[in-house]
Amino acid sequence: MGKLHPNFIVGIGGSAGALNAYKALLDHLPSNTGMAFVIVSHIIPTANSQLAQILSRHTKMSVVVASMSMAILANHVYVIPPNADLLVKNYTFSVVSPRTKRNQQIDLFLKSLANAFGRHAIGIILSGYNGDGAEGCKYIKAKGGITFAQDISAEVPDMPLHAAAGGNVDFVLSLDKISDELQRLASTSMEGN
């Protein structure tokens, strides 16, 4: 039986213009990294999120909407539910609905991820307006985790630029290069086991 617990939990934050970024990132990722991927997207609260269905066409990994007490498994992709804050604890999700504040779900999730998983936390900030995610990257770095921001390929560069400007981003890369680096991290962690 394969390892159920992921070697890393990857929080992926995005907003405007991020749908294409999520698709491209998943297109480039193999389905056996041993990581779990959590997509925290700014979704209009009333929207019936089709995100999981759309993204499932871009990966062999199982893509599901996260729910309360759901286990976080390796080689799975999870999507934040609409109108909710998503937190993690002991390899399970905690969902707070309705969301506490508008456009702060990425920071909330990344802070929770940093506190729960320390150096096994990875944060990726993709296309979007405003600065959600920058504070979360700071927490991940403080706990020894790794952070990424999308480069100038971002359709809306505000969020990745804001994260990088804070000095808490390890890599500013295109989506295919982010995927390459994640695969390198996965293989390095597997050698260490």
Other beta carbons less than 10 A from residue 91's beta carbon: 17
* Token digits of residue 62: 């199982």
- Residues with Cβ within 8 Å of residue 69, at least 6 apart in sequence: 92, 93, 94
Q: Give catalytic status of residue 42 as yes or no.
A: yes
Catalytic-labelled residue, pool 15, 112, 127, 179? 15
Residues in the chain: 193
Please give the distance of CA 169 from its chain centroid, rounded to a whole number: 14
Q: Are 158 and 128 in contact (CB under 8 A)?
A: yes
Q: Give catalytic status of residue 15 as yes or no.
A: yes
Please give the distance of CA 4 from its chain centroid, rounded to a whole number: 19
What is the Cα–Cα distance from 50 to 170, expressed in whole angstroms?
31
C-alpha separations of 8 from 39, 91, 114 in Å: 14, 11, 11
Q: Give catalytic status of residue 132 as yes or no.
A: yes
Catalytic-labelled residue, pool 42, 76, 120, 162? 42
Please state the φ and ψ torsions of residue 14, each to the nearest 5 degrees: -160, 165
Catalytic-labelled residue, pool 76, 107, 127, 132? 132
Q: Which residues are catalytic?
A: 15, 42, 132
